[in-house]
């Protein structure tokens, strides 16, 4: 949430900053701003409500010169989206500018104290408090910008990734982080700062991931220096990015979401690559094989996650209980962290997060670690905070996910959780060789099955026209596909703004059935599995009440097509991994309905990817 970019070097900063903001726009898009120090040493700040394109239009006739600058795209937390609340925020003397991602919890206390010293505020944001505090410290203590920033950071409570420039020291950018991500790109005589690596990869693949409580001092023509907020020198660990620019572009698709749906053939291939023996008889996950005792002796597994990742977690829990026979619970990270949970030293906590930056999930694993649990990460973004904070884990390797609605990350998460369940089962001897081989070989065939399932696209596009203006949807599924129903409903509501609810199919008669009439269609995920007969009864119950049914069935099913209004046929696949295949038509249905409604599927209202605030 909120994207920050910074640059210092030999090129004009503005173009780099704005290009970077476009790359980070998925993190928030209610306003944007830039600040550059021009060759005369003047700090120019431009900000505008709306998307980055509106900022660019606003800047057209402005002085945008300067080889040092910072920029921001906002997802509002404190104060409505407006020009004045947009970042960068600046000091009263107009010399210092700051961009910030995160939330300052004690901003009000600090604000009151500064106001008592005569400080005036123009915005409602927590961020303005930080820059005014830096200015106050600098002028009262007559100290350097670095010392003032460090002292200010020692006074604030909360989460931050910041970048600060000062027209009195135009050759320096100060950046710092605590619980919000920040990456520094090291080029030749130039340095880049960003919330993630996507704005940096065009210029350099050498990056430093700042750690919590670190401050980077980026000075023109000098090597990067990093200290802690306690003023201790830190090591600068330069890593090489493995990301290509083409992964960050739409590649001919009209939207990132559609590109990411269609990419799943390849992303699942990348996800399983090297992790399943060629003949399907063994799973190789170093996160499990390097820590056998942790899994053999695990009394319990706790899965923590949010949103779509939580849905993947529900499927994961079933897979783990089924194949590894370890009691497994799934918790919303936001609830878990404040629930005073009982965590035991023999617990294994699995954190699932596409971004690896979700604030609640990060806090949940910090809590679990403090209490002695072994923490396993299932992340997508390499080098992300959760990936680094966990003891070990498995990357899903699906490449950058830019559409705000998670698609390929969900199928990657379920695939990794299936491999994880099998790997633990293999280690503990709770899964038979035959069972393991059957599921492992099906995992190997997923890319081909996804390609086949994607052929449903034209049928789903046509079908979507019938349902574009419906106001409510019900999604039903059972067993492994109950979470698929939750995920299908979430996809639809977040991008089309149609109210949708997911339920375990049998629960429908305990309440939601009252909602069913001919205005409320029901999507039923009904592949050929152990619960198939039961789902057929649930469909009958919907039909008996005049509701229309869109059913996702296994090819060859003859019963459901006779009763449902529309059927979407998916290829046969073992029950345990059927949610990967069932996800595809659900994603396409949500996409096409949203497009027909004229919604911005890649940047739905009020949402942002990478939820780095509580
Ligand atoms: C929904 C969606 C969100 C995320 C959630 C967790 O499409 O994308 O619900 O799944 O914000 O994000 P991560 O996985 O990055 O922790």
By the 8 A CB rule, do 487 and 311 touch? yes
pLDDT at 121: 96
Please indicate whether residue 49, judged by its CB atom, sits closer than 6 Å to ligand 1.
Answer: no
Catalytic residue among 2, 271, 379, 599: 2
> Quick check: 411 and 275 in contact, CB under 8 A?
no
Q: In this predicted structure, what is the pLDDT of residue 26?
A: 87
609 is catalytic: yes
**Cα-flanking dihedrals φ and ψ of residue 287, to 5°?**
-60, -30
| DSSP H or E segment with residue 240 | strand 239-240
* Residue 452 pLDDT greater than 90, yes or no: yes
What are the helix (H) ranges across 531-577?
A: 532-544, 559-563
Q: What is the pTM of this model?
A: 0.91
User: Does ligand 1 come within 6 angstroms of the Cβ of 354?
Assistant: yes
Q: Which class for 120: exposed (0-12), middle (13-18), buried (19 or more C-beta within 10 A)?
A: exposed
Residue 262 has pLDDT above 90, yes or no: yes
Tell me, in angstroms, the distance from the centre of ligand 1 to residue 119's CA: 39
Contact 21, 52 (CB under 8 A): yes
Reported as type and span, the H/E element at residue 395 is strand 392-395
- CA-nearest residue for atom 8, ligand 1, is 406
Give the chain's length: 614
Structure confidence at residue 243 (pLDDT): 83
Q: Is the CB of 390 under 6 A from ligand 1?
A: no
What average pLDDT does range 558-583 have in this prediction? 96
Q: Ligand 1 mean position to 380 CA, how many Å?
A: 11
Per-residue confidence (pLDDT) for residue 297, from 0 to 100: 96
Query: With a 6 A CB cut-off, is 306 part of the ligand 1 pocket?
Result: yes
Strand, helix or coil for residue 557: coil
pLDDT digits 0-9 by tens, 11-21: 999 999 999 99
DSSP class of residue 88 equals: P
* pLDDT > 90? residue 560: yes
Q: Determine the distance separating the centroid of ligand 1 and the alpha carbon of 37, expressed in angstroms.
A: 37
Cα dihedral 72/77/83/85 (nearest 10): -90
Q: How far apart are CA 238 and CA 601, in angstroms?
A: 36
Tell the residue number behind the tokens 């979470």, with chain if given.
Answer: 483
Give the position, in ligand 1's atom list, of the atom nearest the Cα of 386. Answer: 16
pLDDT tens figures, 227-250: 999 999 999 999 999 888 888 889
167 lines ligand 1 (CB under 6 A): no
pLDDT in tens, 108-144: 999 999 999 999 999 999 999 999 999 999 999 999 9
pLDDT given for residue 84 in this prediction:
94
**Res. 76 pLDDT band, cuts 50 70 90:** confident
Strands 3-8 and 191-194: antiparallel
Q: Whose CA is nearest to atom 9 of ligand 1?
A: 307
What mean pLDDT, rounded, does the chain reach?
Answer: 95
Q: Which atom of ligand 1 is nearest to the CA of 410?
A: 10
The secondary element (H helix, E strand) that includes residue 48 is strand 43-49
- The answer on pLDDT for 436 being more than 80 is yes
Residue 607 has pLDDT above 90, yes or no: no
Report whether 379 contacts 365 (CB < 8 A): no
pLDDT in tens, 158-167: 999 999 999 9
> What integer pLDDT is reported at residue 197 of this predicted model?
92
Point out the ligand 1 atom lying closest to the alpha carbon of residue 358.
Answer: 16
26 CA from centroid of ligand 1 (Å): 12
- Asked if 265 and 447 touch (Cβ cutoff 8 Å), the reply is yes
Residue 83 confidence (pLDDT): 93
Residue 398, pLDDT above cutoff 90:
yes
For residue 77, pLDDT over 90 is answered with no
Query: Is the minimum distance from the CB of 406 to ligand 1 under 6 angstroms?
Result: yes
* H runs (alpha helix) in 142-263: 145-155, 256-262
Please state the rounded mean pLDDT for residues 20-43.
95
pLDDT grade, residue 531 (50/70/90)? Answer: confident
Count of beta carbons in the 10 Å neighbourhood of residue 260: 27
CB 398 within 8 A of CB 270: yes
- Residue 609 has a pLDDT of 76
Of 383 and 143, more confident: 143
Of 233, 107, 104, 199, nearest to 158 (Cα)? 104
Residue 611 CA: nearest ligand 1 atom is: 11
**Residue 548 near residue 521, CB atoms below 8 Å:** yes
Query: Could you give the 3-state DSSP secondary structure of residue 186?
Result: strand
pLDDT, one tens digit per residue, over 185-216 is 999 999 999 999 999 999 999 999 999 999 99
User: Active-site residue 543, yes or no?
Assistant: no
Q: Which stretches of 492-565 are assigned E, i.e. beta strand?
A: 499-504, 522-526, 549-554
- Cβ–ligand 1 distance for 489 under 6 Å, the answer no
> Measured from the CA of 404, which atom of ligand 1 is nearest?
8
User: Among candidates 610, 568, 571, which has minimal Cα distance to 588?
Assistant: 568
**Full DSSP string of 409-465:** HHHHHHHHHHHHHHHHHHHHT-S-HHHHHHHHHHHHHHHHHHHHHHTTHHHHHHHHH
Instruction: Return the pLDDT at 141.
Output: 94
Query: Mean pLDDT throughout 62-79?
Result: 94
Band the pLDDT of 528: cuts 50, 70, 90. very high
Looking at the predicted structure, is the pLDDT value of residue 450 above 90? yes
Ligand 1 in reach of 268 Cβ (< 6 A): no
């Amino acid at each position: 949430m909120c994207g920050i970019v910074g640059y210092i070097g030999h090129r004009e900063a503005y173009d780099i900053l704005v290009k970077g903001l476009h790359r980070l726009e998925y993190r928030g898009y209610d306003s944007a701003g830039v600040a550059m120090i021009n060759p005369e040493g003047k700090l120019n700040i431009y900000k505008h409500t709306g998307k980055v394109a509106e900022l660019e239009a606003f800047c057209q006739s402005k002085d945008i010169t300067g080889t040092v600058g910072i920029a921001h795209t906002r997802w509002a937390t404190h104060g409505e989206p407006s020009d004045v609340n947009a970042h960068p925020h600046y000091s009263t003397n107009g010399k210092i500018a700051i961009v910030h991602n995160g939330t300052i919890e004690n901003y009000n206390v600090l604000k009151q104290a500064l106001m008592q010293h005569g400080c005036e505020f123009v915005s409602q944001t927590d961020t303005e408090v930080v820059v005014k505090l830096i200015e106050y410290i600098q002028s009262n203590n007559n100290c350097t910008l670095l010392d003032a920033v460090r002292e200010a950071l020692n006074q604030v409570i909360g989460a931050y990734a910041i970048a600060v420039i000062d027209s009195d020291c135009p050759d320096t950018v100060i950046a710092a982080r605590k619980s919000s991500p920040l990456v520094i790109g090291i080029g030749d005589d130039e340095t880049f700062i960003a919330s993630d690596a996507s704005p940096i990869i065009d210029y350099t693949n050498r990056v430093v991931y700042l750690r919590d409580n670190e401050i980077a001092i980026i000075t023109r023509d000098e090597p990067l220096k990093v200290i802690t907020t306690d003023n201790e020198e830190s090591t600068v660990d330069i890593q090489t990015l493995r990301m290509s620019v083409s992964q960050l572009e739409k590649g001919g698709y009209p939207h990132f979401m559609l590109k990411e749906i269609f990419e799943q053939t390849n992303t699942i291939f990348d996800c399983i690559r090297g992790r399943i023996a060629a003949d399907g008889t063994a799973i190789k996950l170093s996160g499990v094989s390097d820590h056998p005792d942790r899994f053999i002796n695990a009394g319990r597994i706790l899965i923590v996650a949010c949103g779509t990742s939580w849905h993947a977690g529900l499927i994961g829990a079933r897979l783990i209980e089924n194949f590894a026979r370890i009691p497994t619970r799934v918790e919303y990270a936001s609830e878990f962290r404040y629930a005073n949970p009982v965590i035991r030293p023999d617990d294994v906590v699995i954190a699932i997060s596409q971004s690896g930056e979700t604030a609640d999930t990060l806090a949940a694993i910090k809590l679990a670690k403090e209490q002695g649990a072994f923490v396993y990460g299932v992340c997508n973004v390499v080098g992300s905070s959760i990936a680094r904070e966990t003891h070990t884990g498995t990357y899903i390797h699906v490449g950058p996910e830019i559409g705000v609605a998670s698609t390929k990350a969900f199928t990657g998460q379920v695939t990794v959780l299936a491999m994880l369940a099998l790997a633990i089962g293999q280690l503990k001897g709770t899964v038979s060789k035959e069972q393991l081989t059957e599921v492992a070989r099906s995992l190997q065939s997923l890319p081909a099955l996804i390609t086949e399932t994607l052929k449903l696209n034209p049928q789903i596009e046509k079908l979507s026209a019938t349902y574009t203006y419906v106001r409510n949807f019900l999604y039903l599924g059972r067993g492994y596909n109950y979470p698929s129903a939750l995920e299908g409903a979430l996809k639809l509501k977040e991008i089309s703004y149609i109210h949708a609810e997911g339920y375990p199919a049998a629960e429908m008669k305990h309440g939601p059935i009252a909602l069913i009439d001919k205005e409320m269609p029901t999507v039923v995920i009904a592949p050929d599995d152990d619960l198939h007969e039961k789902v057929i009864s649930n469909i009958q119950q919907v039909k008996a009440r005049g509701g229309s049914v869109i059913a996702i069935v296994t090819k060859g099913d003859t019963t459901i097509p006779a009763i449902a209004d529309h059927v979407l046929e998916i290829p046969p696949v073992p029950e345990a991994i059927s949610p990967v295949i069932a996800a595809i038509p659900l994603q396409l249905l949500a996409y096409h309905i949203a497009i027909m409604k004229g919604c911005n599927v890649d940047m739905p209202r009020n949402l942002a990817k990478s939820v780095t605030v509580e």
